[in-house]
C-alpha cells in the first residue's frame, strides 16, 4: 500500500485524521487520511452507507468534520463556509433549479460572482457546447431527458471554472448505455480541463474505467487506495478482493512462510502455495483469493499449484465459458475458460485438475 | 362488410375508419367495452353529485334567487299587482279609478288573510324598506278600507290619508309589484331608487355596506399577510426538522383544530381584554400604567389577532407540504456555486415555495372574508365583517332578501378576486398539500 500511495507534499486536497459522527454514537467516518493531487481523478468506491457522501459533504463544507482537518491547496478549510470554497459540485439528483431555465441555471454561479451579462452569456454558451446541448438553453430542467439533465448538472459545476469538482453518483439514475457514454464524456472533460475531480460511485466498473486512483470505502475506513489495475490485481485485503471483480475464496491455515510466498493448508487438507499479502506467520487463519480467469483447467505439469475438482455446472457465455466447480470443499468455485477452438470439451460431473500460478493466489485476512 | 376477412382491415385508411376483426368500427367497439366501466364509475360518484346538489347548488341558487325575488306585493295583492302595470307612471297623474278599486278590494281581502307572507303587514314592511315611515299608512288604511262601501274609491282613499295622492308612493308600489327587483341588490351596495325611479347613491348616513365590505377585504388581506409572515418560518422549521420532532410540532400546529372555535375565541377574550392576562402582565412589568390599559379586544385588533391564530394552520399546511418536497440539495447546490445563505434563499428556495404561498394565501383569504363567529365575538362594533351584517339581516331584521343580496355581493367579490388571482398566479400552479 505504501508503495502506491503517492505522498505528495503539494497535495491539493488532504484529509488528515478526519472523523465524523452524526449522532455522537456511531463513527460514520473513522480516521480518514487521504491525499489528492492536483488534476487527479480520484473515485470513492464502496457499498451503500460506507460514508462516501459524508466525506464529500465535509469537503464541500455542508457537514462539519467531528475531528481532524481538511486542507484545500494547503489551507485548512474547516471554518470556511461552502460558498467561499470555490468547489463545483454535481449532486446525485442533479439539483437543477426547477424554476429556472437551463441557461439561468448555468448563469447562476456567474451571477453570484457579479460577472457582467455578456460574459455570462458567452460562458453559458461555451459550456453548453462543451456538453453538446447548444440548443437547450431556453428549456426548463423538467423538459430535459435524464442524460441531458446530467450534462447540464456537470456543465453547471464547471461553468465557474473551479479547480475542484465533486460528483456524488452523478450517473446513478441513468441506464447502462447512457452511463457508459457519460463516463466517457466526464473523463474527456477531466482530461481537457485538467480539473481535480473527486467522484463517488458504488459501481466498480465505473470506478475502474474512469479513475486515476480509487479509494475503496467500507465501514468508514478506506480499505485501499490504489490505481485501478493494482486494485484488481493486488487487493490488500479480503474486502477489496471481493468487492472488486469476481473472486474465489478458499479458507485455510498458513503452514509455512518463505519470503513473498507462503504455504497454506486448506480445510480439506490440500496444500497451496500463495502470495503472502495479509498474513504474518505460520498458524494464521487466512482466506485465499483467486480470480476466475487466472485458473487453468488441465494445467501444464510445470505449474506449482494443482488441485482436483469436479465440474458442477457449465454456462455458455459466448466469448468464454463459466465453469462452476467444487474444489477443496467450496462448491461455488468459478473458472472462466476462454472459448478457443482447441479447448478440451468439458462435461458436467467430470473430474478434472485445475491449477494456477502461486503469485495469482492471494493469502488475505480471513472472512467467515 | 365483405372485406373484414382481409388481413389488412386493421390498417387505417384515409377513407375508412379503423375496424375490429368483426367489422365494427374500433371507436364504437372501444366505447362499448368501456361503457360499463364508465357507468360504474359514474354510479360511484352519484351520492356525491346528489349531496353537492342538495347541499350546495340548491342553497346558493336559492340565495341568489332570493336576492332579486320580490313576491310580496303580488302575493298580498295579486289583482292590484297585475293592474298597476298598465299605469303610466310618467304621465304625472294618479292611477285610474279602476286601479284604486282593485287596490281597495285587495287590501280588504288581504286583511282577512292570516297566511304568513300574505298579510297586509308583509306588504307594509316591504314598502317600508323603500319609503321609510310608510308602514302605518298601509296598516291603518287596510283597517279602514273595509268601511268603503262604494266608489269613487280614489276619493275615499284620499280621505283616509292624503298620502295616497303621492305619485311617488304609487310609483314605488308599481315597481314593487314586479316579481323581480333590483332594490335589494342596490341596497346592498349602498344605492337606491330615488323618487323618480332612477338609481342613485343612498343618503350618506345610510351608506354602511360598502365601507364594511371594504373593511372586510382590507382586514382579510391583513390577516392573510400576517398569517404568511408567521407561517413561513414555522413551516420551514417543520420541513427541516427530523421527522419525530416535526411530527410533534405539527400536532401543536393542528391542536387548535381539536378544540372548539368558541373556546379558542373565548381564550383570546381572556387574554386580551382590558382586565386580561396580557394587560395585567404589562401593568405588572410597569410597561403601562394601571390607568393606561390597552383596548385590544372588541375592536379590529381583537378580530385580527384571534383570526390570525385561528387561520394559521391553513397557511402552514400548504406551505409545509410544498417545503417538504424541496430537497436540501438545492440550497446546497446554490451554496456550492458561491451564493450566500440569504441570496440562495431568495433566488432558489423562495421561488420554489410560491405554489404553497399561493395556495395558503388563497385559502386563508377566502376563509377570512366570509368569517363570522370570531368577529361577532371579539370584533365589537368596529371589528365586524360583512358576514355579521348578513347574519343580522337573517336573524334580527328578518330582511332575508337584503341578507341574500349582501351574500350575493360577497360571492361576486370573492369570485372576482379569485379570477384576478387566477390571472396573476394561475390556479393550476397551486399546491394545497
Ligand atoms: N444527515 C445524517 N444524519 C444521520 N446519519 C446520517 C446522515 N447522513 C448519513 N448518515 C449515516 O451515515 C452513514 C454514511 O452515509 P453516507 O451517506 O455517507 O453513505 P454513502 O457511502 O454515501 O452511501 P450511498 O452509496 O448509499 O450513497 C450511513 O449509515 C447513514 O445512515
Ligand atoms: Mg451517498
**C-alpha to C-alpha distances, B33 to B38, B39, B233, nearest whole angstrom:** 10, 11, 53
Ligand 1 atom closest to the Cα of residue A53 is 22
CATH class of A11-238: alpha beta
- The bound ligand whose nearest atom lies closest to the alpha carbon of A57 is 1
Which three cell numbers mark B316? 402552514
B67: Cα within 13 Å, side-chain hemisphere: 22
* Residue contacts between A and B (CB atoms, under 8 Å): 62
Q: Is the pLDDT of residue A260 over 50?
A: yes
**C-alpha to C-alpha distances, B335 to A128, A167, A289, B251, B343, nearest whole angstrom:** 22, 15, 46, 33, 9
Subunit contact B339:A87, Cβ cutoff 8 A:
no
Within 8 A of A99 by CB-CB distance, chain B residues are 351-352
The CA distance from A311 to A305, in Å, is 18
- Profile chain B (433 residues) by mean pLDDT over runs of 10 residues: 46 64 82 87 91 92 92 90 88 87 89 84 89 88 84 86 89 90 91 85 88 94 97 94 90 85 89 90 89 89 92 94 92 93 94 92 93 90 91 90 93 91 77 66
For chain A, domain boundaries? 11-238, 247-364
- Look up residue B164 and give its DSSP letter: G
Q: Name the residue among A62, A92, A112 with its Cβ closest to that of B337.
A: A112
- What mean pLDDT do residues A2-24 have? 74
**Regarding predicted confidence, which is higher, B147 or A121?**
A121
Q: Which residue has its alpha carbon closest to ligand 1 atom 25?
A: A48
Subunit contact B332:A95, Cβ cutoff 8 A:
yes
Residues with C-beta atoms within 5 A of ion ligand 2? A 53
Pick the residue from chain B with its C-alpha nearest to A113.
B338
Q: How confident is the model at residue A124 (pLDDT cuts 50, 70, 90)?
A: very high
Q: Name the residue among A92, A93, A108 with its Cβ closest to that of B337.
A: A108
Within 8 A of B329 by CB-CB distance, chain A residues are 91-93, 95
Subunit contact B339:A108, Cβ cutoff 8 A:
yes
How many angstroms separate the alpha carbon of residue A166 from the centre of ligand 2? 12
Predicted local confidence at residue B114, as pLDDT? 82
Contact A83/B at CB under 8 A: yes
Ligand 1 site residues (CB inside 6 A) read A 22-23, 28, 46, 48-54, 202
The CA distance from B121 to B135, in Å, is 8
Predicted local confidence at residue B18, as pLDDT? 76
> Mutation test of ligand 1: which of A43, A50, A62 has the most ligand atoms closer than 8 Å to its C-beta?
A50
Q: Name the residue among A97, A99, A160 with its Cβ closest to that of B338.
A: A160
Q: What is the pLDDT of residues B56-91, one digit of tens each?
A: 999 999 999 999 998 889 889 999 999 998 888 888
Q: The whole model's pTM is what?
A: 0.78
When mean pLDDT is compared across A7-11, A177-181, B200-204, the lowest value belongs to A7-11
Contact A170/B at CB under 8 A: no
Subunit contact A83:B339, Cβ cutoff 8 A:
yes
Mutation target among B242, B328, B336 for the A interface, most CBs of A within 10 A: B336
When mean pLDDT is compared across A38-52, A222-236, B27-41, B60-74, the lowest value belongs to B27-41
Q: Name the residue among A91, A108, A156 with its Cβ closest to that of B329.
A: A91
Within 8 A of A104 by CB-CB distance, chain B residues are none
How many angstroms separate the alpha carbon of residue A49 from the centre of ligand 2? 7
Predicted local confidence at residue A182, as pLDDT? 86
How many angstroms separate the alpha carbon of residue A231 from the centre of ligand 2? 22
Return the bridge partners of A351, or none: A310
How many angstroms separate the alpha carbon of residue A117 from the centre of ligand 1? 40
- CATH topology match: A11-238 vs A247-364: no
Q: What is the pLDDT of residues A99-109, one digit of tens each?
A: 999 999 999 99
β-bridge pairing A213-218 and A41-45: parallel
The CA distance from A90 to A168, in Å, is 6
Q: What is the pLDDT of residues A70-110, one digit of tens each?
A: 999 999 999 999 999 999 999 988 999 999 999 999 999 99
Q: How far is A341 from chain B (nearest CA, A)?
A: 48
How many angstroms separate the alpha carbon of residue A49 from the centre of ligand 1? 5
CB A43 within 8 A of CB A211: yes
Subunit contact A91:B333, Cβ cutoff 8 A:
yes
Within 8 A of B336 by CB-CB distance, chain A residues are 60-61, 82-83, 85, 87-89, 157
Residue B41 dihedral angles phi and psi, to the nearest 5°: -60, -40
Helix (H, G, I), strand (E, B) or coil at B191: strand
| Cβ-Cβ contacts under 8 Å for B230 (sequence gap 6 or more) | B308, B312, B315
Residues B237/B243/B248/B254 CA torsion (nearest 10 deg): 70
The CA distance from A337 to A296, in Å, is 8
Predicted local confidence at residue B15, as pLDDT? 64
Q: Which residue has its alpha carbon closest to ligand 1 atom 31?
A: A49
Q: Which residue has its alpha carbon closest to ligand 1 atom 17?
A: A53
Neighbours of A179 (CB within 10 A): 19
Q: How far is B341 from chain A (nearest CA, A)?
A: 9
Q: What is the CA radius of gyration of chain A?
A: 25
Nearest to A217 by CA among A53, A66, A44, A63: A44
The CA distance from A94 to A54, in Å, is 17
Within 8 A of B339 by CB-CB distance, chain A residues are 83, 108-109, 112
Subunit contact B343:A81, Cβ cutoff 8 A:
no
CB A242 within 8 A of CB A231: no
The CA distance from A26 to B39, in Å, is 59
Predicted local confidence at residue A160, as pLDDT? 92
Q: Name the residue among B327, B340, B344 with its Cβ closest to that of A93.
A: B327
Q: Is the pLDDT of residue A366 over 90?
A: no
Q: Name the residue among A85, A97, A157 with its Cβ closest to that of B348.
A: A97
Q: Name the residue among B329, B337, B340 with its Cβ closest to that of A160.
A: B337
Subunit contact A83:B351, Cβ cutoff 8 A:
no
Q: How confident is the model at residue A111 (pLDDT cuts 50, 70, 90)?
A: very high
Subunit contact A93:B337, Cβ cutoff 8 A:
no
CB A272 within 8 A of CB A306: no
Interhelix angle B300-324/B261-272, nearest 10 degrees? 120
β-bridge pairing A13-21 and A271-276: unpaired
Residues on chain B bordering chain A, Cβ-to-Cβ distance under 8 angstroms: 327, 329-330, 332-340, 343-344, 347-348, 351-352
Domains and CATH numbers, chain B: 1-62 (no CATH), 72-181 (no CATH), 209-429 (1.10.3720.10)
Q: Which residue has its alpha carbon closest to ligand 1 atom 26?
A: A48
Subunit contact A109:B329, Cβ cutoff 8 A:
no
Contact A109/B at CB under 8 A: yes
- How much helix, strand and coil, in percent to the nearest 5, is found in chain B? 75, 5, 25
Q: Which residue has its alpha carbon closest to ligand 1 atom 10?
A: A22
Within 8 A of B330 by CB-CB distance, chain A residues are 95, 97
When mean pLDDT is compared across A3-17, A159-173, B151-165, the lowest value belongs to A3-17
User: Of 3.40.640.10, 3.40.50.300, 3.40.50.2020, 2.40.50.140, which CATH number belongs to A247-364?
Assistant: 2.40.50.140
Q: What is the 3-state secondary structure (H, E, C) of chain A?
A: CCCCCCCCCCCCEEEEEEEEECCCCCEEEEEEEEEECCCCEEEEECCCCCCHHHHHHHHHCCCCCCEEEEEECCEECCCCCHHHCCEEEECCCCCCCCCCCHHHHHHHHHHHCCCCHHHHHHHHHHHHHHCCCCCCCCCCHHHCCHHHHHHHHHHHHHCCCCCEEEEECCCCCCCHHHHHHHHHHHHHHHHHHCCEEEEEECCHHHHHHHCCEEEEEECCEEEEEECHHHHHHCCCCHHHHHHCCCCEEEEEEEEEEECCEEEEEECCCCEEEEEECCCCCCCCEEEEEECHHHCEECCCCCCCEEEEEEEEEEEECCCEEEEEEEECCEEEEEEEEECCCCCCCCCCCCEEEEEECHHHEEEECCCC
Amino acid at each position: 500500500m505504501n508503495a502506491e500511495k503517492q505522498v505528495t507534499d503539494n497535495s491539493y486536497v488532504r484529509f488528515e485524521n478526519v472523523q465524523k459522527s452524526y449522532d455522537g454514537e456511531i463513527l460514520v467516518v473513522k480516521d480518514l487520511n487521504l491525499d489528492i493531487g492536483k488534476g487527479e481523478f480520484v473515485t470513492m468506491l464502496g457499498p451503500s452507507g460506507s460514508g462516501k457522501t459524508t466525506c464529500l459533504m465535509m469537503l464541500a463544507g455542508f457537514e462539519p468534520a467531528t475531528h481532524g482537518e481538511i486542507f484545500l491547496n494547503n489551507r485548512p478549510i474547516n471554518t470556511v463556509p461552502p460558498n467561499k470554497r470555490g468547489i463545483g459540485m454535481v449532486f446525485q439528483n442533479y439539483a437543477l433549479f426547477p424554476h429556472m431555465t437551463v441557461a439561468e441555471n448555468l448563469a447562476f454561479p456567474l451571477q453570484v460572482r457579479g460577472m457582467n451579462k455578456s460574459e455570462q452569456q458567452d460562458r453559458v454558451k461555451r459550456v453548453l457546447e462543451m456538453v453538446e446541448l447548444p440548443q437547450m438553453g431556453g428549456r426548463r430542467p423538467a423538459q430535459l431527458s435524464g442524460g441531458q439533465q446530467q450534462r447540464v448538472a456537470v456543465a453547471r459545476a464547471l461553468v465557474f471554472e473551479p479547480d475542484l469538482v465533486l460528483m456524488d453518483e452523478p450517473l446513478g439514475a441513468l441506464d447502462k448505455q447512457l452511463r457508459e457514454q457519460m463516463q466517457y464524456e466526464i473523463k474527456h472533460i477531466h482530461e481537457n480541463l485538467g480539473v481535480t475531480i473527486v467522484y463517488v460511485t458504488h459501481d466498480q466498473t465505473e470506478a475502474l474505467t474512469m479513475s486515476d486512483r480509487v479509494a475503496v470505502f467500507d465501514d468508514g475506513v478506506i480499505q485501499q487506495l490504489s490505481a485501478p489495475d493494482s486494485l484488481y490485481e493486488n487487493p490488500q485485503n479480503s474486502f477489496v478482493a471481493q468487492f472488486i471483480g469476481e473472486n474465489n475464496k478458499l479458507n485455510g491455515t498458513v503452514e509455512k512462510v518463505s519470503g513473498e510466498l507462503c504455504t497454506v493448508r486448506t480445510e480439506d487438507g490440500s496444500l497451496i502455495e500463495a502470495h503472502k499479502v495479509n498474513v504474518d506467520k505460520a498458524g494464521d487463519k487466512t482466506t485465499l483469493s483467486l480470480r476466475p480467469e487466472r485458473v487453468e483447467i488441465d494445467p501444464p505439469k510445470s505449474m506449482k499449484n494443482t488441485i482436483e475438482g469436479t465440474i458442477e455446472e457449465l454456462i455458455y457465455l459466448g466469448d468464454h465459458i463459466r465453469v462452476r466447480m467444487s474444489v477443496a470443499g467450496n462448491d461455488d468455485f468459478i473458472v472462466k475458460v476462454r472459448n478457443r477452438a482447441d479447448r478440451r470439451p468439458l462435461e458436467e460431473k467430470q473430474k478434472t485438475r485445475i491449477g494456477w500460478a502461486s503469485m495469482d493466489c492471494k493469502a488475505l485476512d480471513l472472512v467467515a | 362488410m365483405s372485406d373484414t376477412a382481409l388481413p389488412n382491415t386493421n390498417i387505417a385508411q384515409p377513407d375508412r375508419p379503423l375496424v375490429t376483426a368483426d367489422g365494427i368500427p374500433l371507436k364504437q367497439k372501444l366505447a362499448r367495452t368501456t361503457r360499463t366501466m364508465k357507468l360504474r364509475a359514474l354510479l360511484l360518484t352519484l351520492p356525491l353529485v346528489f349531496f353537492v346538489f342538495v347541499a350546495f347548488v340548491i342553497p346558493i341558487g336559492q340565495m341568489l334567487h332570493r336576492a332579486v325575488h320580490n313576491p310580496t306585493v303580488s302575493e298580498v295583492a295579486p289583482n292590484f299587482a297585475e293592474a298597476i302595470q298598465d299605469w303610466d307612471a310618467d304621465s304625472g297623474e294618479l292611477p285610474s279609478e279602476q286601479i284604486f278599486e282593485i287596490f281597495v278590494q285587495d287590501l280588504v281581502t288581504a286583511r282577512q288573510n292570516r297566511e304568513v307572507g300574505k298579510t297586509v303587514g308583509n306588504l307594509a314592511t316591504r314598502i317600508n324598506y323603500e319609503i321609510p315611515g310608510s308602514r302605518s299608512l298601509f296598516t291603518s288604511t287596510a283597517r279602514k278600507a273595509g268601511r268603503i262601501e262604494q266608489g269613487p274609491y280614489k276619493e275615499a282613499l284620499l280621505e283616509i290619508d292624503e298620502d295616497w295622492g303621492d305619485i311617488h308612493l304609487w310609483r314605488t308600489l308599481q315597481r314593487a309589484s314586479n316579481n323581480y327587483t333590483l332594490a335589494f341588490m342596490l341596497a346592498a351596495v349602498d344605492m337606491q331608487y330615488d323618487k323618480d325611479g332612477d338609481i342613485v347613491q343612498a343618503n350618506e348616513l345610510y351608506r354602511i355596506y360598502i365601507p364594511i365590505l371594504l373593511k372586510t377585504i382590507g382586514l382579510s388581506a391583513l390577516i392573510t399577510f400576517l398569517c404568511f409572515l408567521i407561517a413561513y418560518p414555522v413551516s420551514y422549521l417543520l420541513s427541516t426538522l427530523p421527522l419525530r420532532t416535526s411530527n410533534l410540532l405539527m400536532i401543536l400546529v393542528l391542536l387548535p383544530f381539536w378544540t372548539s372555535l368558541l373556546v379558542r375565541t373565548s381564550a383570546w377574550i381572556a387574554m386580551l381584554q382590558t382586565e386580561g392576562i396580557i394587560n395585567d402582565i404589562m401593568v405588572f412589568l410597569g410597561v403601562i400604567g394601571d390607568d393606561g390599559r390597552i383596548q385590544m379586544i372588541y375592536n379590529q385588533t381583537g378580530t385580527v389577532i384571534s383570526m390570525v391564530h385561528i387561520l394559521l394552520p391553513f397557511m402552514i399546511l400548504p406551505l409545509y407540504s410544498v417545503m417538504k418536497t424541496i430537497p436540501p440539495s438545492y440550497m446546497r447546490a446554490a451554496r456550492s456555486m458561491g451564493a450566500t445563505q440569504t441570496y440562495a434563499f431568495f433566488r432558489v428556495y423562495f421561488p420554489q415555495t410560491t405554489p404553497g404561498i399561493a395556495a395558503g394565501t388563497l385559502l386563508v383569504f377566502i376563509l377570512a372574508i366570509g368569517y363570522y363567529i370570531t368577529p361577532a365575538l371579539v370584533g365589537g362594533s368596529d371589528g365586524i365583517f360583512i358576514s355579521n351584517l348578513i347574519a343580522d339581516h337573517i336573524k334580527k331584521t328578518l330582511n332575508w332578501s337584503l341578507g341574500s343580496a349582501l351574500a350575493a355581493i360577497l360571492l361576486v367579490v370573492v369570485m372576482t378576486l379569485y379570477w384576478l388571482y387566477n390571472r396573476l398566479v394561475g390556479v393550476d400552479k397551486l399546491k394545497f398539500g
